[in-house]
Amino acid sequence: MTESNDRKIVIFDTTLRDGEQSPGASMNLAEKMEVAQALVDLGVDVIEAGFPIASPGDFEAVREIAQSVQGSVICGLARCREADIDRAWEAVQHASKHRIHVFLATSAIHREHKLRMGKDEIIQRAIDGVRRAKGYCADVEFSPEDASRTEIDFLTRVVEAAIDAGATTVNIPDTVGYSTPSEMYRVIHALRERVPNIDRAVLSVHCHNDLGLAVANSLAAVEAGAGQIECTINGIGERAGNCSLEEVVMGLRTRNDHYHAHTQIQTRRLVPTSRLVSSVTGIHVQRNKAIVGQNAFAHEAGIHQDGMLKERTTYEIMRPDDVGFAKTDLVLGKHSGRAALMDRARTLGYHLTPEQLDAVFDQFKVLADKKKDIYDGDVASLIEQQMMTVPERWSFESYHVETGTGRTPQVELALRRGEQVVSTTMSGGDGPIAAVFLAIEQLTQTPAVCKDFHVHSVTVGKDAQGESQVVLEHEGQLYRGRGVSTDSVEASAKAFLHAINRIVAIKNHQTPAQTAGTGKE
């Protein structure tokens, strides 16, 4: 696919740092470890695992990933401050390949209003920060924050100084997503023309998506000679998000004739990784999302279907299997065995331990009794449910609700706590789901306000599984929960309990490593 004169573009993934800054996307330690391993399997060159000084939880997560995830460079973010840089090093030092990423804002707006620093002071601070990081680690990245709104003459000076101080990568962030593709091209081109030592560093871009231009701006930067792209799975990140990894990678691959550049991404792992990130962050991927959306390869119009049947390339520029959509949505059923389930799980991109496979298989049998055809979406949902790593203090046993138009629901609910089953009977709520939520709050003695709630169908048909997601507020903090069942009331009860279990985990004074970002926003 790649030509001999192709440039290799370094893929720097910041799903665990900038991506985690998406409202509602925080992940617990186990979830971050799982995502980090998936990123290695995907083939990303650099994983920005977090911002170690930001919180003890962030620090623990970066340190754990550095110690146990092998294959990619593990990077920690730091402001140009000694304490930040020391903490970042403490977190990444045990990685077999490590990087410290220091940043400092350079635009006039940030200099005047945020930092209250002059240009010379900024340059000196950048030099000191890069030197301190360099004292620890050969691989140092420097980012002039808000670079795209920085005067080009000053940006040129900053970049030269950072490289002289030892930066091996210089990243150009479009922090507020303000740039356009031609502007981004001009900035990268100008830096390559005007910074005398530019050959000693990799030029990188980091584009936010406020105007929906993050991918276009990143590709324009590559055209102008950038050698690294910073991006996130599903494009998650601050505000409107970051450059989407799957889009930019497939852009380079599909239009190799134009960009003459390639990455080492295993593109068949794009869909499984997208699903994993969506599942652990609770951020849904829109159906029409390029590359990984459910409709990305669906041809609805008759004229398109006719063309596709005659010759695939009439309407298809990429193959669905190249990005990891399984070739067929093979249906499993109650007679399918463990081997078939394991095979399907592998095809969908999940690596299950024998214990996880046992647990998923048990759930699969329960589901197969309720539902004749089990689709890929069902299997993925069962696996993700099994991989949800919140300690299960409370689990769902059963419910019964009597209700109707104009009637206050009467609910009986039973929950399990360890060996013990506890139950309650009460009336209240506007409908069966609200009634069950009230009963859960009463039984678990955990008051919570439901801030967001939705249910959607995982696959098709009247017997499709419903997946419910909730966001609860408890003592000023937000907690996510997710549950799946063929019964939408039960799915909702499970989602509510999942969020309650997150609250209980925090309250149980677990170590920071266990509680870090436990879905707490």
Candidates 112-120, 152-160, 167-175, 194-202 — which segment interacts with ligand KIV by CB under 6 A?
A: 167-175
Q: Between 281 and 515, name the residue whose CB sits nearer to ligand KIV.
A: 281
Q: Between 283 and 506, name the residue whose CB sits nearer to Zn ion.
A: 283
Which residue among 15, 16, 18, 232 contacts ligand KIV (CB under 6 A)?
18
* Residues near 169 by beta carbon (within 8 Å), at least 6 away in sequence: 99, 139, 140, 141, 142, 201, 202, 203, 204, 228
Torsion of CA 205, 23, 50, 217, to 10 degrees: -10
Which residue among 12, 59, 89, 103 contacts ligand KIV (CB under 6 A)?
103
Euclidean distance between CA atoms 182 and 52, whole angstroms = 35
Q: Between 204 and 336, name the residue whose CB sits nearer to ligand KIV.
A: 204
* Residues near 409 by beta carbon (within 8 Å), at least 6 away in sequence: 401, 402, 403, 427, 428, 429, 430, 431, 432, 434, 435
CB of 171 to ligand KIV, least distance (A): 6
Give the residue closest to Zn ion by C-beta: 18
Binds 34: which of ligand KIV, Zn ion, none (CB < 5-8 Å by kind): none
| Position 206 contacts ligand KIV (CB under 6 A) | yes
Q: In this structure, are strands 46-50 and 73-79 parallel, antiparallel, or unpaired?
A: parallel
Q: Closest by alpha carbon to 471, among 491, 446, 494, 453?
A: 453
* Residues near 196 by beta carbon (within 8 Å), at least 6 away in sequence: 160
Q: Between 13 and 145, name the residue whose CB sits nearer to ligand KIV.
A: 145
- Diameter over CA atoms, the chain: 77
Q: Between 145 and 490, name the residue whose CB sits nearer to ligand KIV.
A: 145
Residues 210-249 that bind ligand KIV (CB under 6 A): none
Q: Angle CA(175)–CA(179)–CA(185) in degrees, nearest 5?
A: 115
CB of 358 to ligand KIV, least distance (A): 42
Q: Between 179 and 274, name the residue whose CB sits nearer to ligand KIV.
A: 179
List the structure tokens of 419: 């060996």
Paired strand residues for 98: 74
Candidates 125-133, 171-179, 264-272, 423-431 — which segment interacts with ligand KIV by CB under 6 A?
A: 171-179
Euclidean distance between CA atoms 20 and 17, whole angstroms = 5
Binds 22: which of Zn ion, ligand KIV, none (CB < 5-8 Å by kind): none
Which residue among 76, 173, 241, 519 contacts ligand KIV (CB under 6 A)?
173
Euclidean distance between CA atoms 71 and 62, whole angstroms = 15
Q: Closest by alpha carbon to 138, among 188, 178, 89?
A: 89
List the structure tokens of 489: 């009331």
Contact 48/231 with Cβ under 8 angstroms?
A: no
CB of 231 to ligand KIV, least distance (A): 12
Binds 107: which of ligand KIV, Zn ion, none (CB < 5-8 Å by kind): none
CB of 157 to ligand KIV, least distance (A): 19
Contact 226/204 with Cβ under 8 angstroms?
A: yes
CB of 240 to ligand KIV, least distance (A): 12
Other CB atoms within a 10 A radius of the CB of residue 250 amount to 24
Euclidean distance between CA atoms 22 and 218, whole angstroms = 20
Euclidean distance between CA atoms 229 and 9, whole angstroms = 7
Binds 145: which of Zn ion, ligand KIV, none (CB < 5-8 Å by kind): ligand KIV
Binds 399: which of Zn ion, ligand KIV, none (CB < 5-8 Å by kind): none
Paired strand residues for 365: none
CB of 188 to ligand KIV, least distance (A): 16
Which residue has 């993700």 as its token pair?
A: 384
Binds 469: which of ligand KIV, Zn ion, none (CB < 5-8 Å by kind): none
Binds 232: which of Zn ion, ligand KIV, none (CB < 5-8 Å by kind): none
| Count of residues of this chain found to bind ligand KIV when the rule CB under 6 A is applied | 9
Q: Between 209 and 281, name the residue whose CB sits nearer to ligand KIV.
A: 209
Q: Between 173 and 227, name the residue whose CB sits nearer to ligand KIV.
A: 173
| Position 12 contacts ligand KIV (CB under 6 A) | no
| Position 175 contacts ligand KIV (CB under 6 A) | yes
Residues 135-154 that bind ligand KIV (CB under 6 A): 143, 145
Binding-site ranges for Zn ion (CB under 5 A): 18
CA distances from 488 to 103, 111, 457, 462, 483 (A): 46, 52, 9, 12, 9
CB of 242 to ligand KIV, least distance (A): 8
List the structure tokens of 43: 């083939």
CB of 17 to ligand KIV, least distance (A): 8
Candidates 168-176, 404-412, 432-440, 468-476 — which segment interacts with ligand KIV by CB under 6 A?
A: 168-176
Q: Between 145 and 467, name the residue whose CB sits nearer to ligand KIV.
A: 145
Q: Between 18 and 146, name the residue whose CB sits nearer to Zn ion.
A: 18
Residues at the site binding ligand KIV, with contacts judged by CB under 6 A: 18, 103, 143, 145, 171, 173, 175, 206, 208
